[in-house]
Amino acid sequence: MSHSQHETEIKLMVRSASAAQRLLRRSGFEVVRPRVFEANTVFDTAAQTLRARGQLLRVREAGKVVTTTFKGQATLTRHKSREELEFTADNAERLKLVLNRLGYEPVFRYEKYRTEFRRPRGRGLAMLDVTPIGTFVELEGDPAWIDRTAHALGFSESDYITASYGRLYELWCQEHGQAPGDMVFA
């Protein structure tokens, strides 16, 4: 299964999952994919050549769905925009073994619980992500839709976060005096 070739997104930090759900529902969003646990593994070469180029190779296990994602270098304005190529597989361990044989190894793991929301006949997605470092709403769609939606939810452009979860985790570790490892639930 092939997926979108390009993504534009922002993250918004929220107080709690329940507060975010109320906010999204009041704005006309409905759940289109119920809460699911996601285990994400980022792969790179030993020399971290993908990271150096601003690219990402990830295997995501969400329930029984295994998705491999390549993300190209991001263009950062007030939104993050980048090429995104995805496909599904039926065996995460075999896929990871193939990546390993091609010279890629796991370099970072992160976990989250994700619920996807959409307005009826809406063009963008709102994802509610509960992570070990906080709760976020990720808005994905065209820039005008993102801006209108963020404003309708009570956020301003100064609230926009374009950093990846990996980068947010690094910043969280610095702020809390912890050595970075994997961003996983205890």
Task: Give the closest residue to 59 by CA, choosing from 38, 79, 77, 76.
Answer: 38
Q: What is the mean pLDDT of residues 142-149?
A: 97
pLDDT in tens, 23-58: 999 999 999 999 999 999 999 999 999 999 999 999
Question: What domains appear along the chain, each with residue ranges and CATH number?
Answer: 6-176 (2.40.320.10)
Where residue 4 falls among pLDDT bands split at 50, 70, 90? low
pLDDT given at position 122? 87
pLDDT given at position 2? 42
Helix (H, G, I), strand (E, B) or coil at 164: coil
Estimate to the nearest angstrom the gap between the alpha carbon of 106 and the chain centroid. 17
CA distance 139 to 156: 13
The pTM score is: 0.94
Residue pair 88/71 in contact (Cβ under 8 Å)? The answer is: no
Strand segments (E) across the chain: 6-14, 30-44, 56-62, 65-71, 75-76, 80-89, 105-118, 125-131, 134-140
